[in-house]
Structure 1
Amino acid sequence: MLNINISTPSSMIQLLKERFKARRLSMDLTQEGLAKKSGVSLGSIKRFEGSGQISLESLLKLALVLECLDDFSKIAEEREPSVHSIDELLTLSKRSKPKKRGSIK
């Protein structure tokens, strides 16, 4: 069976809000308790759990209290480039310095 996983911003928001709520409940915290511990307003937590809308700073504060802040360090981590041909491998080996700017393609 072919497993296709297509993530979209909307699906990621849905996943995050569900996971954060589940984690809050597993730690036996009410929304109000999480607000007090994190410094994020109760309204922001309600909005996040309802619609998924929250500022990045508030999300990180919640992650700190919910003990998953380190997970964010993996976002946009440098990855090894995938090589599909000898030409690509040779091009990569010639480029030893990291790029300082991109190009329009």
Structure 2
Amino acid sequence: MLLISPSKAQVKIANSIRERRLQMDLTQEGLSDRSGVPLATLRKFEQKGIISLESLLKLLMIVGGLREIVNTLKPAKSQFATIDDVLSENKHVERKRGRKK
């Protein structure tokens, strides 16, 4: 479990997007034009981390990271296919005891 508040996460995400933008040698205006996100929205995002999900996804399409975000949010595959698999898993537990002296 990650111990970070949502507001801190927003700021970290905004800083990461800003760093990616700078690595691509893009100005805020350039990223705004390419992504379709209004310049005022982009500036507010980079300063405060506040942005809509749709605008964030548009920015990620340009600076990269959209595929990673989508893949990260996929649910993990369960190792069990049925409830019987779960129940049989618990039956195979071997108990061990220490030796008496």
In the alignment, which residue of structure 1 is the partner of 2:83?
A: none
Give 1:75 deviation, angstroms: 4.0
Q: Deviations over 1:10-39 (max 9, x none)?
A: 121111011000000000000000001111
- Equivalenced residue count is 86
Q: Which has the higher helix share?
A: 2
Specify every segment of 5 or more residues in structure 2 that has no aligned partner in the other structure, as ranges. Answer: 80-85, 90-101
More relative contact order, 1 or 2 (CA 8 Å, 6+ apart): 2
Aligned to 1:26: 23
Moved segments of 4+, more than 3 Å: none
> Any unmatched runs of 5+ in structure 1?
83-88, 93-105
Report the TM-score, using the length of structure 2 for normalisation: 0.72
Q: TM-score, normalised by structure 1?
A: 0.69
Aligned-partner residue type, residue 23 of structure 2: S
Question: CA RMSD for the aligned pairs?
Answer: 2.7
What's the % identity of the aligned pairs?
Answer: 37
1:11 is aligned to 2:14: no
Aligned residue in 1 for 2:41: 44
In the other structure, the counterpart of 2:68 is: 71
> Which sits farther off after the overlay, 38-47 or 8-17?
8-17
1:25 is paired with a residue whose SS is helix
